[in-house]
Amino acid sequence: MPQTANSTAPCSAGSELHLGTVPTLLRYLGQLDGLLDLAQLRLQSQGLGEDVLLETRLVPDMLPLRSQVWICGNFVPRMEAVLRGSEPRYPDWPQDLAGMQRQVQALQAQVQAWRPEDFEPAGRLVEGDAGQAWLQMPLRAWIHEFALPNFCFHLTAVYLLLRQQGLPLGKAQYDGLHQY
């Protein structure tokens, strides 16, 4: 049957993985950028010290806000390294909120450069650490069961730490979709 203007050609597994990964990362890197912007506004209006905010923890044995931002963002070069078959090149994270925001924006540009063919073959085996565990899983599973959930875990930690510090945050600031 000939294709019409309204029909779509089937996507490759790599294209589907690209479509399921890149827009999600871009959205939530944008939300991280927005959270850091709100944190800066809070510092200006409340007079709270930036280092105090960046060292905030939910509980004593949890990593501070600064580290949560870094780890969240570092999933971009980690994913890119897996896609390219290379070692991750982690950024030298700035120590201040404004610098962290610039770094997040640079990560957004990095993700925008990813192409569908970077995700081929979607079933190739990925090996790497998860804390003290060693993972071996197909690329599709590694992205959707490990990389994206961990990115979101650390983004959620950023959200919770800022909320704990009195920022008036809700789902709208987390996902950019909700309105209340």
Question: What pLDDT sits at residue 7?
Answer: 47
DSSP E strands, the chain: 125-130, 133-138
Q: What is the Cα–Cα distance from 155 to 171, expressed in whole angstroms?
A: 13
- Residue 59 confidence (pLDDT) above 70: yes
Checking if the pLDDT of 1 tops 50, the result is: no
Structure confidence by residue, pLDDT tens digits, 3-52: 445 545 567 888 999 999 999 999 999 999 999 999 999 998 888 899 99
Compute the distance between CA of residue 69 and CA of residue 43 in angstroms, rounded to an integer. 17
Confidence (pLDDT) at 3 = 46
User: Per the structure block, which two tokens stand in for 173?
Assistant: 């600031």
